[in-house]
Amino acid sequence: MEGVDHLAHERNKSEFDVDAMKIVWAGSPHAFDVSDRISKLVASDPGFRKDNRSTLSRKELFKNTLRKAAYAWKTIVDLRLSEEEAAKLRFYVDEPAFTDLHWGMFIPAIKGQGTEEQQQKWLPLAYKMQIIGCYAQTELGHGSNVQGLETTATFDPQTDEFIIHSPTLTSSKWWPGGLGKVATHAIAYARLIVGGREHGVNGFIVQLRSLEDHSPLLGITVGDIGMKFGNGAYNTMDNGVLRFDHVRIPRNQMLMRVSQVTCEGKYKQSDVPRQLVYGTMVYVRQTIVADASCALSRAVCIATRYSAVRRQFGSQNGGPETQVIDYKTQQSRLFPLLASAYAFRFIGEWLKWLYADVTQRLQANDFSTLPEAHACTAGLKSLTTTATADGIEECRKLCGGHGYLCSSGLPELFAVYVPACTYEGDNTVLLLQVARFLMKTVSQLGSSKKPVGTIAYMTRVEHLMQCRCGVQRGFAELSVDLVEAAVAHCQLIVVSKFIEKLQQEIPGKGVKQQLEVLCNIYALFLLHKHQGDFLSTGCITPKHAALANDELRSLYSQVRPNAIALVDAFNYTDHYLGSILGCYDGNVYPKLYEAAWKDPLNESVVPDGYHQYIRPLLKQEIRTARL
Ligand SMILES: CCCCCCCCCCCCCCCCCCCCC/C=C/C(=O)SCCNC(=O)CCNC(=O)[C@H](O)C(C)(C)COP(=O)(O)OP(=O)(O)OC[C@H]1O[C@@H](n2cnc3c(N)ncnc32)[C@H](O)[C@@H]1OP(=O)(O)O
Ligand SMILES: Cc1cc2nc3c(=O)[nH]c(=O)nc-3n(C[C@H](O)[C@H](O)[C@H](O)COP(=O)(O)OP(=O)(O)OC[C@H]3O[C@@H](n4cnc5c(N)ncnc54)[C@H](O)[C@@H]3O)c2cc1C
């Protein structure tokens, strides 16, 4: 029945203060207040409804996204929301849109790679959304290999301009979000050519469309690249294709914090690492780690609540069947994902600190932690997105057949989330960057340069020094093993930062104890999953492995009575979850049944096409094959 909490019996089992855990999950009382307030604002505003997305055509879907983005922006302006509140609004609006790339990449690129003068000119226009930007780096022929990009930017000293050109089909910009139909400007990455000499890939601000009638400017060919994975999903985003035909831009539209070109045509490289040109990607990678905990926690919330509602088998003397959450197999699949959601939350908090710290150091021209920041953002982006994409799919399977319904919210969540394993850097390519960083560290063992920070533990691998000459053997030849080592390195960071989190003051009855259980589940599940490696390297004995497995089972039993409360702590509204299986009151079956009849296919009892195709079949009016 409506209004009845079908999960009340589960909530009454909780052994900790859920409200205190909500604060831990949000990060602070202030962050919880903002998040709670904005999530309810979005959930209560029909302008942000999203339950009809799967029934819209691509053009209807996209127009609806434009409407929502404009409505969100109006809400932000009318309510005078802060940037923190606006970011939360965008999060709870929960729809990939051009604004993500405008705010998440175009503006950060100007802030990170533009000079003070360029920032003063372009940022006010961007903040007021008087221009809409995108980040145009990837091309049809190159994405991972940035140094392989083919778009050219040739300096013309006669006119003090750059000529931006797409020399080949494969140099067409391909994938940039917001580019296809909306962006008026792009940060376009191109090979800088001055006086016939190449100077690597740099960023250029290029206007694409008229600010009067939105038509593409002279020399610009631009459009959408077409439908993507899933029906609704990421098709709310206009990922685009863009070609330049000798487009001229003023010299001062090359982002010049890293490199400069003077009006005399002299190329200068600042005394900052060239890799700062990649800075925007590093920024987004650290936001993606925080996003991973959000996406995974959402799927886990749905699967946990439904696992407590669903009963199957085990009825004794006509009594109720067994809740599937009580099956050890269900717990062994679900609870490590619950632990991962919390682990990724805390590693996301730490990575945000690391990124802020490296940014502050860069302002003082201290580049000492840039390599570690690159390795951590690349590796943790790879690890958390792979685990989250796999975890969302596992949550769908944990919900049985009903997990495959759009009304479960899981298919759409998966379809929207999975490109995170590719964008902002293919996950394997990024792990190879971590492997390169680890190998460079090994090569420096024994020198005066001592490993610190997240690689400090490597001083304890002195034995690698003896075989150092061995590890010089082809990096490519060893890349599969090196990628595994990179994952292990990142997992060590995740576990270490979870443990560090538990050493902080954590208020609330039973809260720290619950987090300790989740931390131990995360670590022991890894040990169980990779026990072959631990055993073959002599890190543990078979007895240790058996003890670990026993402890893991015990920990699952400790989590069981608190599972619903642990997902309640995410404080997600039913609107944001978008899932009948995950609804707060657990009143699943009536809602599933009601939702079915709302499908457009049920608008008529007799389906379109019956008279044309089915009736002739049934009436044998079509000659039947000899069966
Ligand atoms: C609704 C309305 C609301 C409106 C209001 C809202 C208000 C606020 C809202 C805020 C919203 C924010 C939302 C944010 C959401 C964002 C969503 C994002 C969606 C996804 C979009 C996707 C974008 C993209 O995909 S962009 C393109 C990404 N592409 C890549 O990642 C390419 C990957 N490849 C590379 O990075 C390079 O090619 C690389 C590193 C693989 C190789 O580079 P290389 O130049 O060849 O270098 P290499 O020789 O390997 O190494 C040399 C040297 O350099 C070091 N190195 C490499 N990279 C870096 C780096 N990045 N930083 C530092 N150092 C680096 C490397 O380690 C080597 O060092 P040494 O070994 O010491 O020599
Ligand atoms: C939804 C979505 C949104 C995007 N938004 C943007 C955007 O806004 N702006 C933008 O510029 N780009 C964007 N991209 C593009 C994205 O950044 C690239 O697709 C991504 O960087 C991967 O590059 P690629 O497509 O060239 O993959 P490839 O590198 O071609 O990968 C193909 C395969 O080759 C493997 N591989 C490649 N190099 C190596 C190597 N050295 N060693 C071993 N294996 C290797 C990869 O692991 C992968 O398995 C977006 C992509 C998607 C899917």
- The answer, yes or no, to whether residue 396 has pLDDT greater than 60, is yes
What's residue 457's pLDDT? 85
428: CA distance to ligand 2 center in Å? 10
Distance (Å, whole) CA 74 – CA 242 = 29
pLDDT bracket for residue 21 (50, 70, 90): very high
Between CA 500 and CA 349, with CA 25 as vertex, the angle to 5 degrees is: 50
* pTM exceeds cut of 0.90: yes
Atom 57 of ligand 1, residue of closest alpha carbon: 275
256: CA distance to ligand 2 center in Å? 26
Residue 193 parent element (H or E):
strand 185-194
The CA-to-CA distance between both ends of the chain, in Å, stands at 50
pLDDT bracket for residue 627 (50, 70, 90): low
Of the listed ranges 328-332, 344-348, 361-365, 465-469, the one predicted with least confidence: 465-469
What's residue 471's pLDDT? 52
Which candidate, 310, 328, 330, places its Cα nearest to that of 320? 310
- The answer, yes or no, to whether residue 466 has pLDDT greater than 60, is no
Q: Is 159 helix (H, G, I), strand (E, B) or coil?
A: coil
pLDDT bracket for residue 467 (50, 70, 90): low
| 500 HSE (CA, 13 A, CB side) | 11
- The answer, yes or no, to whether residue 606 has pLDDT greater than 60, is yes
What's residue 1's pLDDT? 64
- The answer, yes or no, to whether residue 612 has pLDDT greater than 70, is yes
What's residue 316's pLDDT? 86
- The answer, yes or no, to whether residue 444 has pLDDT greater than 60, is yes
- The answer, yes or no, to whether residue 214 has pLDDT greater than 90, is yes
- The answer, yes or no, to whether residue 403 has pLDDT greater than 70, is yes
Q: Is 207 helix (H, G, I), strand (E, B) or coil?
A: strand
pLDDT bracket for residue 473 (50, 70, 90): low
Give residue 199's identity as a one-letter amino acid code.
Answer: H
- The answer, yes or no, to whether residue 581 has pLDDT greater than 70, is yes
- The answer, yes or no, to whether residue 399 has pLDDT greater than 60, is yes
Q: Which residues pair with 259 in a beta bridge?
A: 269
The overall average pLDDT reported for the chain is 94
Atom 46 of ligand 1, residue of closest alpha carbon: 147
Residue 249 parent element (H or E):
strand 247-250
What's residue 623's pLDDT? 62
In the numeric block, the tokens 């001592």 are attached to: 450
Which candidate, 95, 94, 122, 96, places its Cα nearest to that of 108? 122
Mutate to test the pocket of ligand 2, among 98, 142, 144, 283 (most ligand atoms within 8 A of CB): 144
How many Cβ atoms are within 10 Å of 196's Cβ, its own excluded?
6
Q: Which residues are catalytically annotated?
A: 424
Percentage above 70 pLDDT, the chain: 96
The mean pLDDT value for 164-188 works out to 98
What's residue 622's pLDDT? 59
Are the CB atoms for 478 and 471 separated by under 8 Å? yes
- The answer, yes or no, to whether residue 411 has pLDDT greater than 80, is yes
Q: Are strands 247-250 and 259-261 parallel, antiparallel or unpaired?
A: unpaired
Between 56 and 590, the more confident residue is 590
- The answer, yes or no, to whether residue 465 has pLDDT greater than 60, is no
The mean pLDDT value for 215-224 works out to 98
What's residue 152's pLDDT? 98
Q: pLDDT for 518-538, tens place per residue?
A: 999 999 999 999 999 999 999
pLDDT bracket for residue 178 (50, 70, 90): very high
Ligand 2 pocket at CB < 6 A: 101, 135-138, 143-144, 175-177, 234, 239, 419, 422-423, 425-426, 428-429, 432
Ligand 1 pocket at CB < 6 A: 69, 72-73, 76, 83, 86-87, 90, 93, 97, 99-100, 103-104, 135, 137-138, 143-147, 177, 275, 278, 281-282, 284, 287, 370-371, 374, 423-425, 429, 433, 436-437, 440
Of the listed ranges 332-341, 442-451, 602-611, the one predicted with least confidence: 442-451
Atom 26 of ligand 1, residue of closest alpha carbon: 424
Tell me the ligand closest to 95's alpha carbon: 1
Between 475 and 290, the more confident residue is 290
Residue burial 154-188, b: 16+ Cβ < 10 Å; e: rest: bbeeeeebbbbbbeeeebbbbbbbbbbbbbbbbbb
**Rounded to whole angstroms, what are the CA distances from 333 to 391, 427, 548?**
9, 23, 17
Q: pLDDT for 62-74, tens place per residue?
A: 999 999 999 999 9
pLDDT bracket for residue 470 (50, 70, 90): low
From the CA of 228, give the closest atom in ligand 2.
1
278: CA distance to ligand 2 center in Å? 15
